[in-house]
Chains A and B, each alone.
Chain A
Amino acid sequence: MIEAILLSVITAATPLLIAAMGELVAERSGVLNLGVEGMMVVGAVAAFAVAKETGSPYAGILAAALIGALMAALFAILTVWFVTNQVATGLALTLFGLGVAGMIGEAYVGFPGVSLGAVAIPVLSDLPIVGRVLFDQDPLFYFSILLTAGVAWFLFYSRAGLRLRAVGDRPEAAHALGLHVNRVRTLAVLFGGVCAGIAGAQLTLVYTPQWVENITAGRGWIALALVVFASWRPFRVLAGAYLFGAVTIAQFHVQAIGVNVPSQLLSALPYLATILVLVLIASNRRFTRVNTPAALGQPFVPDR
């Protein structure tokens, strides 16, 4: 049973992790994209539709990544190059995404989808307990772990990552050093879009292989919260995503076992946990200042 519970937790945590990792990179470059939910839901519908038409879930993932990037490009053009308000544009992107996804998805409502099967890693998957849980999973799970490690390495151990963080902390200084601030930001936002799209694909190919309107059900917002929750550190995002996934799954097990706790309280638990951690983080101001991208949400206009 523990095995089964862990499997459910992983499925619940993976989309949050992927989406949050993309947003983390975008925010580290100084761009706050509140459109994660919108990019995710468009990715979800694209993945479902393409997988259904072609029969290949991998084609679906690719389509989700592309359309996520397309949505992000729209956002980048508006906020980075035309200097629109990032918060308003992000919200608009979410509304737009939900609407577009509903429209595209109308023809696909009510059909069972294509499921992305598990791919067992030889030898490792034969290990007791952890074998099945960690090494006999769908490819998007492996991707999410590699992504976390990759982003962590990129941000803190690579020259390009250093530049990206410089752009997010002191765009003027980065500009003076000859870095293309807006080009870096655009790429970071595009990366965020690709990740959000793939996170959406996980929902319609792994989590619940079907398309219904609003299938993301707020997961994009949770991913956004996770980035803050993790104080912009990749491995803390990983921990946060799994904590969130675990609490989400635990509430149902607690009920099914028959423990007498109000179910409404259990439903609120993941959010209570988020608030609690945010309070803890905020109470240590120095800690927050060290990790928060200093120029988060501020547009950069070289000429002014």
Chain B
Amino acid sequence: MKRLATSLAVLLLAAGTAAAQDKTKACFIYVGPIGDFGWSYQHEQGRLQVEEELGDQVETAYLESVPEGADAERAIERFARSGCDIIFTTSFGYMDATNKVAGRFPDVKFEHATGYKREHPNVSTYNSKFYQGRYVIGQIAAEVSETGQAGYIASFPIPEVVRGINAFLLGARSVDPEFELKIVWVNSWFDPGREADAAKALLDQGVDILTQHTDSTAPMQVAAERGAHAFGQASDQIAFGPETQLTAIVDDWGPYYVERVKAVIDGTWEQSDTWHGFAEGNVAMAPFTNMPDEVAAKAQETVDAISSGALEPFTGPINKQDGTEWLADGQKAEDGELLGMNFYIEGIDGSLPQ
């Protein structure tokens, strides 16, 4: 059914392009619905910012709920055929599809979010250092939790998610060295029902703080019902838990999208690998709420320290889960290592699904 919707949308797009050849066309592919109030919603906000700031110079289009897999390649290819000048593919699972299509359309620019493959000169990658935010919320969790346990609802075992889990634990353990993390994989980016079930299971097992790397607001609502606390995902979700949300890691893609589309218009677009965080404004924290003032102040300090570069969450000594040394005392992780992270650090129970 998604396939059909996708194809129809693409046909309409194809029909619409003939009339507007002089405009630069920026196209976006989202993994969830733009109304998820999380990941895809924030990308959509970025697209709207492009339209607003570049006005008549651009034309934009998007496809939502495009599954990661065979459909993705077809959707990207049709976008490329329909006259898009630059295509943003906004989920990790589009990585191979993006590179494949890019090989066939050398004149179209491709921008893949959260991936690491740039097999053709017309493919750039971009990402945000969400893990910086995860470190901050880990600290907050350890300060606020009464049971000393947080529940982590995870989507898929890819580097981005694993990195977040590790950063969260590092943050939490910097406050409480005994802090425990329970992780549940739901194997989906967006399924409110499953996310809610996972949230309930975690709360039943004694955690009093929830955090998630899935895109719906369901865990926040479950936490609100049960009187626990939770962190918003990708977007400020305070409306779903006015007394529940501690803060949220907010993605702001707008500035990057505007910059890249502008580069295409000016003809200055070049392949790049961008990984911005607090410092550049790509990652921000929602207001610190439902916590004591001193915890909020401390969290803000951490944000400032990471932003200024004084603090890097992944600084040694850090061991891998099996106890072998990963980073020596004072050693900082390299970006490449973080981007491909596929192991748990010491202190996390359970094995990482492969």
* Residues on A facing B (Cβ under 8 Å): 1, 4-5, 8, 12, 94-95, 98-99, 102, 105-106, 109-112, 115, 203, 207-210, 212-215, 217, 219, 248-249, 252-253, 255-258, 260, 262-264, 267
Contact = CB atoms under 8 A, between A and B. Distances in A.
Contacts of A111: 239
Interface in B40-86: 41, 65
A106 B37 CA distance: 12
B187 A263 contact: yes
A112 to B, nearest CB: 5
Given A208-B218, A210-B192, A109 B201 contact: no
A217 B187 contact: no
B350 A8 contact: no
B345 interface: no
Interface in B178-207: 182-187, 190-194, 196-198, 200-205
Closest 10 CB pairs of A and B: A109-B35, A252-B201, A263-B185, A213-B33, A4-B204, A267-B187, A208-B218, A208-B192, A255-B184, A252-B198
Given A8-B197, A8-B200, A208-B221, A255 B192 contact: no
Given A212-B216, A256-B183, 17 more contacts: A1-B205, A8-B201, A94-B1, A109-B35, A110-B35, A112-B239, A207-B193, A212-B33, A214-B33, A215-B193, A217-B194, A249-B201, A252-B184, A253-B205, A258-B182, A260-B350, A263-B187
Contacts of A109: 33, 35, 37
Contacts of B151: 256
Given A110-B37, A210-B217, A212-B36, A257 B196 contact: no
A184 B36 CA distance: 41
A191 B240 CA distance: 34
B12 interface: no
Contacts of A106: 35
Given A212-B35, A213-B33, A263 B200 contact: no
A143 to B, nearest CB: 19
Nearest to A9: B197
A5 B197 contact: no
A110 B65 CA distance: 17
A203 B193 contact: yes
A260 B197 CA distance: 19
Contacts of B351: 260
A267 B192 contact: no
B197 A215 contact: no
B336 interface: no
A256 B35 contact: no
A3 to B, nearest CB: 9
Contact of B353 (A208, A217, A262): A262
Nearest to A245: B197
Interface string B111-155: 000000000000000000000000000000000000000010000
Contact of A267 (B186, B217, B222): B186
A52 B33 CA distance: 21
Contacts of A252: 184, 186, 197-198, 200-202
Contacts of A4: 200, 203-204
Contacts of B19: none
B349 interface: yes
Nearest to A15: B193
B5 interface: yes
A1 B204 contact: yes
B318 to A, nearest CB: 21
Contact of B193 (A5, A95, A217): A217
A303 B165 CA distance: 67
Contact of A95 (B1, B183, B186, B221): B1
Contacts of B221: 112, 208-210
B239 A99 contact: no
Interface string B205-225: 100000000001110011001
A184 to B, nearest CB: 30
B193 A219 contact: yes
B205 A257 contact: yes
B15 interface: no
A89 B65 CA distance: 24
B254 to A, nearest CB: 18
A203 B218 CA distance: 11
Contacts of A102: 33
A12 B33 CA distance: 23
